[in-house]
Structure 1
């Protein structure tokens, strides 16, 4: 797993538990007593033995903020990975796979201990400080406890092998066109348009030219609300941008009936989230009964494998796939349209459910949005709309439609 500032940014939104811990102060290690070194040794043992389905992290130099983004305070003392490795693994009955890394983050130094999932249990060969030999320490929530005998019996090789044969699911941001997985931090921008009130937007009069000779039989009827619909359409499409997701199965078992819930906190009501059904369609200049009948006869049914709901003070995004084969990726065809009324960065909490998973898999992703506000008259709305297809053949016809919009 790549340990970088993007990952740390996401972890700061997490809650302390069996896979995450925040330490404001550096561990006492260099020139420390056995009792002082016990804190570091005990934490690595407890996380290594804990029941979890994701890698564990201890972030040092971080002040925990419950219910919010934890604060980076930094540390002055850097520890050496090789010394910690030698210290820990000389005390345990078998080597623990972990790493310690010093990282510069937002102009401050922090420490990161990374502990992947591995075959357990781990315990000390001899008493050390206030830690007892042959005692299996584990994490329960955010506290450390001693494992019971029935728990220890399930930590053996058979349990580990069984877990490896089950699906291992993870959700990612993706570039759907290129079929590429993107970083867990997604950055984009929103343009917030201050538009005229609906009653101040003029009716669309149409711009039809009568034929020079003969008669014209035309069932089209001018859409007088076209400019009002165009204003709403442009406002929402400039405010939001699309985000696509994919679910990867890195395990060796098939994942059946996979369902994903994505929770986006929005107590300040500054985030706008829509699925493809909620996005306004391109407004039409006119209505035609024949065109509507033709469209219905085609039996076109849009894909709806992703939905968005507003619930209390958060957005709930739901999506699903029938199955994900081992070592493969399922691409969600529909996208989430999201934007913000002001500059903001926020964590989205994802939970994956599957018939083959003994418990849901959770992961946090980060979205950063820059936001700009402008006053937008109808002329500006039309200009913004024209930019969607400036290089197309339709562009000239679009401009011709609006040469006399106020006549």
Structure 2
């Protein structure tokens, strides 16, 4: 909501997607009957037959045949308290928001209610609102839905496409990171000489001499460089609707500008071992073969880009799917990296465009023995 949209709404008449309230809703220290008026209005707009977002403009006086007039309000409702009040009573969450809007020297309250899953009702009587009754906005007034209307709501909801959201995630902490993250990476250049990056004098102790991994120094340097240069990032898909998202696939790309590197888990070097047998065993990837885990990133390299594909499968309503392994992303330059692509699903009318961004803060310095020892200190 901005002042331009407000000006347009002031010239429109009340209906299934618009209502004007001269006075603020009484909310604190009032009876259930009084408080239930606000609840009924929000339910009625949530269930209304409409194609666009509905607005309740508080502090606006309706005037028939001419633009409605802004009178302002002296106080505002608290959005968090309002969310708790409404959604603690309904059989499913209601999507809406309340926020103040400054208009010149006055302020109005705006309740915004997007088109959403229907029907919605309360599970216990509250004030004037009856349980298991579907209220809806009919024209400029509130009414009870008929059985036929309720059936039609259910059918229209079943045909509605899912609402999907893609973002970064920390796989270890299981923390959502949003669509933009900042990472700190290090380019260890020059690297240590591969002849002796760490003390190798203990290689013969406790093992048969022929089991010594002669390539251990080089592997240790490569492993240390890679761990510092590439940052691991998981990918999370959320289904924020009441509809199953069927066979969801993400296909995206990262341009190679600024020496950007994108690897999948199968490209990352394994932690090296002084024992040749241990090194051979650690090189066996248990996920290699014909089986591919759900949402396991597939990365392919082309001349000008890295292509990333994730198969999320079918995602249940209000559920989220985390990638089975991270993407490893880095660049020799401090730059912005964008994974740009689209989500496709069998029940999406068209793909959803999405961009995941990384602000890569890279430092270049020489590799030290402390770097190698720190990298090898933990798997």
TM-score range, shorter chain: 0.5 to 0.7
CA gap of 1:365–1:164, structure 2 versus 1, over 3 A, is farther
The answer as to 2:201 corresponding to 1:207 is yes
Q: How far apart in 2 are the matches of 1:385 and 1:209?
A: 16
Q: Which runs of 5+ in 1 are unaligned?
A: 1-79, 98-117, 127-156, 395-407
1:282 is matched with which residue: 259, 271, 276?
A: 271
Q: Is the 8 A contact 1:306 1:318 kept in 2?
A: yes
Q: Is structure 2 residue 367 aligned with structure 1 residue 373? A: no
For residues 53-102 of structure 1, the C-alpha deviation after alignment (integer angstroms, 9 at most, x for no partner) is: xxxxxxxxxxxxxxxxxxxxxxxxxxx945741433424785768xxxxx
2:225 corresponding residue in structure 1: 235
Secondary structure of 1:234's aligned partner: helix
Contact 1:89 1:96 in 2 (8 A): no
Q: Distance in 2 between matches of 1:85 and 1:295?
A: 62
- C-alpha distance in 2 between matches for 1:119 and 1:262: 34
In structure 1, what is the Cα distance between the partners aligned to 2:7 and 2:271?
Answer: 64
Q: State the alpha-carbon separation in 1 of the partners of residues 204 and 215 from structure 2.
A: 22
- Distance in 1 (CA, whole Å) between partners of 2:334 and 2:251 is 25
For residues 87 and 345 of structure 1, the distance between their equivalents in structure 2, rounded to whole angstroms, comes to 38
Query: What SS does structure 2 have at the residue aligned with 1:387?
Result: helix
Q: Write the deviation string for residues 8-33 of structure 1: whole angstroms up to 9, x where unpaired.
A: xxxxxxxxxxxxxxxxxxxxxxxxxx
Q: Which runs of 5+ in 2 are unaligned?
A: 19-48, 54-64, 66-151
Under a length normalisation based on structure 2, what TM-score does the superposition of the two structures give? 0.55
Compared CA separation, residues 342 and 361, structure 1 to 2 (3 A): same
Match of 1:270 in 2: 259
The change in CA–CA distance for 1:196 and 1:334 in structure 2 (over 3 A counts) is: closer
Residue 90 (structure 1) aligns with: 11
Matched, 1:320 2:314: no
| CA distance in structure 1 between the partners assigned to 2:346 and 2:322 by the alignment | 19
Residues 295-337 of structure 1: per-residue CA shift (max 9 Å, x gap)? 97xx933666112112231211111122100111111121000
Whole-Å Cα distance in 1 between the matches of residues 260 and 160 of structure 2? 40
Residue 263 of structure 1 deviates from its aligned partner by 1.5
Secondary structure at the aligned position of 2:360 is classed as strand
Q: SS at the partner of 2:268?
A: coil
1:109 counterpart residue number? none
Native 8 Å contact 1:164 1:252 kept in 2: no
Q: CA, structure 1 residues 325+385, in 2 after alignment: closer, same or farther (shift >3 Å)?
A: same
Shift of the 206–370 alpha-carbon distance from structure 1 to 2, 3 Å rule, reads closer
Residue deviations 1:233-257 (CA, integer Å, cap 9, x gap): 1111101110011111112221222
Partners of 1:310 and 1:221 in 2: how far apart?
Answer: 35
Q: Which residue of 2 aligns with 1:306?
A: 297
Distance 1:86 1:327 in 2: 36
2: distance between equivalents of 1:175 and 1:209?
Answer: 36
1:143-186 CA-to-partner distances (Å, cap 9, x unmatched) read xxxxxxxxxxxxxx989935873322221112333433222210
The residue aligned with 2:373 is 386
Equivalenced residues, count: 248
CA distance in 1 between partners of 2:233 and 2:282 (Å) = 32
Q: Deviations over 1:211-262 (max 9, x none)?
A: 8xxxx98275222222112111111110111001111111222122211112
Question: What corresponds to 2:178 in structure 1?
Answer: 183
Q: Which residue pairs with 1:120 in the alignment?
A: 51
Q: Deviations over 1:118-147 (max 9, x none)?
A: 94379xxx9xxxxxxxxxxxxxxxxxxxxx
Secondary structure at the aligned position of 1:182 is classed as strand
Is contact 2:184–2:362 with CA below 8 Å preserved after alignment? yes
For 1:166, the equivalent position in structure 2 comes to: 161
RMSD: 3.9
